[in-house]
Structure 1
Amino acid sequence: MLPFLDYALSAMPPTAAEREELARLYPRVDARWHQKMDRALLVVTVRDAGALVAAGIVHDSVVAPTELMDAVELGCMVVDPRYRRMGIRQRVAEMRLAHALDAGRTAITVIHAANPASWAFYERSELWALEREYEFDGQGMFIYQATAAARDWANSLPLSLGTGQPSLDPVPVQAQDRVHPVLPTITVPHALGCAPCRCGSQQTDHDLHPAGY
């Protein structure tokens, strides 16, 4: 039986104690990781019986050489290897994308060229388009930006009538999962499985953001 997973959102950079807990989940923690945590605009955490099993953030784009002035990056995605193939990565990615677009920003994500399964997924997705390529430490990198189709998708997510506030209904991706949005001003989509992708399948288990970038 699959575990019950609690998803939580925080619109504050992690505290020292929270950062210490997050660091234990990542295989590589360096100055760039701390820089991103310092600039975090949203932190998504996933827990199983209180234990942290996955995380991802939205942060100011202070590292990736994007030319988009209003860009925020979906970065630092990590899932405990024991919890892969449960759709966690896809859901966290979509929660972050919805939040970034709801805030009126342009979402970007950075993919290593050495991870062909990941960039092939983004190439096929209607939600993302290649902005530019560059090199970092001798490695090819791709920056993808959210498309107009992504904004249409985000705009189609339900809001509470007459309030402009997001619906707080749980995300029904798996019957065993439950979601506890802790910030009512953050859009939490409850139809995350509906994001269009021409590939016809969800790439939920690839390392879309290798640790350390």
Structure 2
Amino acid sequence: EIETALARIDGVAQAVVTARDDGTGHQRLVGYVVPAAQARPDPAALRAALARTLPAYLIPSAFVLLDELPLTANRKVDRTALPAPDPAAAEERTGREPATAAEAALCAAYAEVLGRERVGADADFFALGGDSVLTLRLVNAARRAGWAITGRQVFRHPVVADLAALARPLAEEKQPDPAPAEPLVSLDATQLAQLESLWRRRR
């Protein structure tokens, strides 16, 4: 499904998508593209095009442009010969410095979960290799930093700045409503006299 969507993008002649170990034990999607004649697809444009038809977690975290795909003796794509993506290319997408406390906390949480030295406020969680498992870790990391986010928010708003706009300080999380007070009982003069008489007898 991902390869089909990638191959349909203008300027793409051939496409292969595979999962690669990022060195930390996590599998991350990488897209390999052979450009059409006279074309030079930009990774950001490829990512934006895929985002129109695929959920964020199915979009490759990196793209590699190749002159041709490596083939086996049987003329099939040799996936073992596909080169690893350049880690520096991903670092370039981290963007600006955080401008708010929420952005700073989430930048740190992204970096912790994704195993990166630095993550900027324009970073996309899934573009940097996030997945459903790491999403849960991100939610927990944010809570440890004092901010409440949900997994659904991460999937819908994976960019730090967008997610930070939705994050709430844990101190502001809604507290349970207090139990209602016991209703007051209205007594007439006769009932009050009976209660007073009972009280005197017990003394």
Q: TM-score, normalised by structure 1?
A: 0.29
Answer with 1 or 2: which has the greater Rg.
Answer: 2
